[in-house]
Structure 1
Amino acid sequence: MNRPIVIGITGGTGSGKSTVSKEIFSELNEENIVMIEQDSYYKDQGHLTFKERVKTNYDHPLAFDNDLLVSQVNDLIEGKTIEKPIYDFENHTRKKETIKVNPEDIIIVEGILILNDEKIRNLLDIKIFVDTDADVRIVRRILRDINERGRTLESVIEQYFSTVRPAHMQFIEPSKKYADIIIPEGGYNKVAIDLMVTKIKSIISQRLNK
């Protein structure tokens, strides 16, 4: 079996990296693509009380179980099926259920800190950084966390200034230097996405013809 193409898509919280991932996903043959979100790999905190769990800094590298992420992406590369974890953001811990993910020709790994970790970077054939202004990112985060994660406006704003912004400046922004491609305009740059899809199709074609 040919080695799958592994694409890493990163950027600050609310940058539009999920939008880019979904656009690439929809433009290619969806049956041959698997999506791995770094958010699924937050560490299990079932051993902590809820009061302790709510203090988690979700924007710090230590919040992630990157060893499991790397192990499972490697399994997919080797043609093995994985059980991807599911994270419960309302209860701040990992669910007992998992999602079965089969290996495919294209693996998209998406998350805020995938270029910060050398082990993850070494798995990626194409590294994309989605670059978006901070004011746009914070508005998107507010809407997401209130609508999808059961947070209050006050808690989102407090979290942004206490952990999100400092972590972005310390860990995410510096990781931009590892990107092969930087996509501006918050994930809605259709030209850049079309170019990415064309490049991916070219790589697939080359591998199939070997």
Structure 2
Amino acid sequence: MAAQQEKRPIVIGVTGGSASGKTSVSRAIFDQFAGHSILMMQEDSYYKKSDLPFEERKKINYDHPLSFDTDLLLEQLNDLIHYQTIEKPVYDYTNHNRSDEVVKVEPKEVIILEGILILDDPRLRDLMDIKVYVDTDDDIRLIRRIKRDMNERGRSLDNIIHQYLATVRPMYHQFIEPTKRYADIIVPEGGENQVAIDLLVTKIRDILKQRERK
């Protein structure tokens, strides 16, 4: 856990494989603090901007650590920790590229950072107070990914399966699953695990109370 020396936001990292349920876990925590000072950030927003043609961008390995602008994510997370407003990038899943738009994000007392590789970089891990790994079987994640990418991102079944076999699955076992050892809490089955979510919420409330006393 990150060392606490002065007042600063609580940073919760939520990771796991693609379609593991990490977004559901993040939203479940977020909803428990509705009305409080809390924000959610997605690592997906920090995919590197590409000048390649569309057909070439479709071939990029988006599950490799080098696909992310981790330096920018680290910089902006540090800004939020120091109560500075940021202009967060926006990623366009349809065009496989970061758009020219940005979103103004105000600092909050609780920051939830969600993404597949947020525990891969020690600089990010060191900023987190709680590190969560959402652990879901490969077949469940594949089914969820197919439904999501067809319904929300307009992708064909052939494209989804090809990408899964070519990059998603091998990158999960090479880069994502090994980061499980850095987690403080492992949550099986994602947002369906209400007990784990309740424990996380209780821990966050305890940290907030401790900091209010200082």
Is 1:6 the counterpart of 2:11? The answer is yes
Partner of 1:145: 149
**TM-score under structure 1 normalisation?**
0.97
CA distance in 2, matches of 1:188, 1:66: 30
Is 1:52 the counterpart of 2:52? The answer is no
Partner of 2:120: 116
What letter corresponds to residue 96 of structure 2 in structure 1?
Answer: H
What letter corresponds to residue 205 of structure 2 in structure 1?
Answer: K
What letter corresponds to residue 45 of structure 2 in structure 1?
Answer: S
- Equivalent pairs, count: 209
Partner of 1:35: 40
Is 1:193 the counterpart of 2:197? The answer is yes
What letter corresponds to residue 146 of structure 2 in structure 1?
Answer: I
Residue 30 of structure 1: CA displacement? 4.3
CA distance in 1, matches of 2:104, 2:153: 23
Residue 58 of structure 1: CA displacement? 0.9
Residue 102 of structure 2 aligns to a residue whose secondary structure is: strand
Partner of 2:159: 155
What letter corresponds to residue 22 of structure 1 in structure 2?
Answer: R
- 8 Å contact 1:27–1:197 — kept in the other structure? yes
- 8 Å contact 2:28–2:191 — kept in the other structure? no
CA distance in 2, matches of 1:161, 1:49: 23
What letter corresponds to residue 162 of structure 2 in structure 1?
Answer: E
CA distance in 2, matches of 1:53, 1:88: 12
Give me the CA root mean square deviation: 1.0
- Percent identity (aligned): 60
> Where has structure 1 moved over 4 Å in runs of 4 or more?
none
CA distance in 2, matches of 1:31, 1:208: 14
Match of 1:69 among 73, 78, 83: 73
What letter corresponds to residue 16 of structure 2 in structure 1?
Answer: G
Which structure 2 residue ranges, 5 or more long, are not aligned? 1-5
Deviations 1:171-198 (A, max 9, x none): 0110000000000123310011001001
**TM-score under structure 2 normalisation?**
0.95
CA distance in 1, matches of 2:75, 2:53: 28
Partner of 2:85: 81
Residue 48 of structure 1: CA displacement? 1.4
- 8 Å contact 2:46–2:69 — kept in the other structure? yes
Which structure 1 residue ranges, 5 or more long, are not aligned? none
Mapping for residues 91-130 of structure 1, pairs under 5 Å: 91-130=95-134
- 8 Å contact 1:70–1:119 — kept in the other structure? yes
Residue 39 of structure 1 aligns to a residue whose secondary structure is: helix
